[in-house]
Structure 1
Amino acid sequence: MTARDTIFALGTGAGRAAIAVIRISGPGSGDALQALAGKRPAPRRATVATLHDPATGEALDRGVALFFPGPASSTGEDYAELQLHGGRAVVEGTLAALHRLPGLRAAEPGEFARRGFENGKLDLSQAEALVDLIDAQTEAQRRQALHVAGGALRRKVELWRAALVDALALVEAELDFSDEADVAGCSPARLSALLSPLVEDMRAALRLAPASERMRDGFVVIILGRPNVGKSTLINALTQRDLAIVSAIPGTTRDMIEAHFDIGGLPVTLIDTAGLRDAADEIERIGVDRTLARVETADLALWLSDSGESPPRCDVETIRVATKIDLSPAPEGAIGVCALSGAGLEALVAAIGRRARASLGDGAAALIVRERHRQALEQALESVDAVLIEEGPLELHAEELRRASRSLGRIVGAVDVEDVLDAVFSRFCIGK
């Protein structure tokens, strides 16, 4: 892969559609438009054109062509776009015509976004957030991804690094000009006044990090209970899909079944599990063991019982759910439901939603949304704490401040990120 290649790809979903968008980026973008449309459109002006295959002269489609000269484009280089009818033959014919043009090649996954990153159009945190935005399934996930993709984390990192630069300037001035009468001394009080607000702000961002990281994966709710209490019936009723086999035979559910659920815009993962009992056969025992192991990583457990049985002790918050309330009333302290009629389901969903919102937030204030971000910020905070807490020569303080700045730079891709670039951009779709 070289930055001077001209790349192209379908930027919309494959298959029959009303409109298809083909993207072209690189120094040959304008020439490619000239070859297909017969002329290069005026910059940033949508132009209706009949596209022809340069090799045969055959008409491919009548669509819209746009041209954005670099660096004022999404990739930072010459960029073109074709908006066509979304039929398979139109798309395949146009892509084939582009492929035959000299100097053009098909783009790799994430290559358009990577060029934008390399040309300063977005930082690494924004690129990662674009992946999250594409993957978002709920309103809160969309809100969180859009917040970071809009540069919220980049702006915060820039403020943090600016404070570090001010502190470093103070330390280095003391080192280089300590004998000058007009240079104020670098006292611990002055350093503390500069760095203490920074430390508090960084710690506040870290406190929100666990919720923001989990927002990407969802709030995990595991459904527990003895065999035949209605676990599979409940998950089918909540998702309104026949995900789990429902049978009167005990031990029907042998393995865990996951279902993704949207509660008030929050991502929730429901997990149906094997009934907890002394299993009669080896396969069922494996299912029970997996259930017990999965409980420890869940955010919430629903303990289902049709007899008022109390839940077993575990380290996860548990909601008692009384099933089959059409046959017997719910005991005190339990949420009563009848999955077949729908009675009580609204109250149960509301109870799950309250706990999910308390755990995940709403995504609007998210900053540190990935483990990579959190680790870099923790390293930066450790270095700044060393300056504030430990007594030592100013040379060591200066090095700790530089280390903190480098750690923050890794979040946005300013320094030392070559080892993560391929992993980040390979997750994109081709054409993004």
Structure 2
Amino acid sequence: MRILDKLVIDIDPLRTSREFRYIFVARVVSIFGLGFLVVAIPLQMYDLTGSTAHVAAVATVLGLTTFGATFVGGALADRCDRRRVIAIARGTAGVFFAVLAVNSFLPEPQVWVIYLCAVVDGACGGISATALMAVTPSLIPRDKLAAAGALMALTADLGSMIGPALGGVVIALGGVGANYTLAAITTAITTFCITRLPSLPPPNEVSESPLRSVAGGFRFAIGDRVIGGLLLAGFVSMLLAGWAVLIPEYAAEVLGVGPAAMGLLYAAPAIGAVVGSLTSGWTGTVRRSGLAVFLAMLISAAGLVGAGAVGSVIVAVAGLLAHGFGEAVADILRFATVQKYTPDEYHGRIAGVWTAQVTAGASVGAFVAGVVAAVVPVHLALTVYGATGLVATVLLWAILPALRRLDESRTPAPVA
């Protein structure tokens, strides 16, 4: 029974912290609501313009705005009441989701409105996600941060699987207008949950300018051997986030399968990630967390190597499952360790860097995957792509001794 307890996801943060429960519910509702938009915006844009370029452009606008806003959110979270920052950002996003709904019900919906809402949504999403991450360490004990990270990761993984599917059903039944309306309603619920939190002011008054504040966060991250090493490890995860780019050609040319099997390939990493989150109870007791991060990264990269090594659908699915599992475990461990070793006055700005990595990951990974696809035969692309992650992980292990040797039983985290 004790072994089972160590494997099963630890839900103590939900049992012991009322404030964390509000955060968790807000995040769950928000992720599923945003999953509706993942389907609705590109579908409506293509229906209005008949142009894939417009679909790509609105996605780029959303991504770039979110990326830039993460740093703004980090500075705000270290200067202002974090509850107010999150509530205002999510409330503003909800208003513009309602604008998208109204626009969709017009006789002639306007494309420029979609672009405008993408800018606002990206900005609000980047700010709120960063401030939300900065809040978490103040709500639960430090020894439960890995459990909190696992719960947050689980919501994201389930949302990425279920949210878009539900969004497609809603569009089929009621059109994109119904989809946008539900997104606005779920965001209103999220905002209400956030307002139920107590006031969450930053620990210290910051007198320097926002730009200097952001620069100070970067200086801290670069100068701290543990935090800097973990952020470098996150960069390797970014490099491997573009695996989806390689799937269509690999499935068609090497595996010889159609859309149904391709859908399974796309779903496999998310399924592996959910398994990783659900069996993450042990992560809260890890003392050599740096070494554990490297091992999980190796599993993630090796999964991609295996997925492309044989040319078998079963092996490819198994490899992608392993990739998702390793990535989830590495993210949970990195999240907990970053939170433990970041002084509270820097939590917002470090959260901004973390969120920026997540936001940019798919784009950076897609670029790397595209380069690999251009220079490597299709039957080797996944294997070579995963091998780059293996090599990068081994190099990080060699050049980051402070992270490799980190022993939390001997190196106490700073007091917030």
TM bin (shorter chain): under 0.3
Q: From the two aligned structures, give the one with the greater strand fraction.
A: 1
**TM-score, normalization: structure 2?**
0.23
Q: From the two aligned structures, give the one with the greater helix fraction.
A: 2
Considering Cα pairs closer than 8 Å and 6+ residues apart, tell me whether 1 or 2 has the greater RCO.
2
Larger Rg: 1
**TM-score, normalization: structure 1?**
0.23
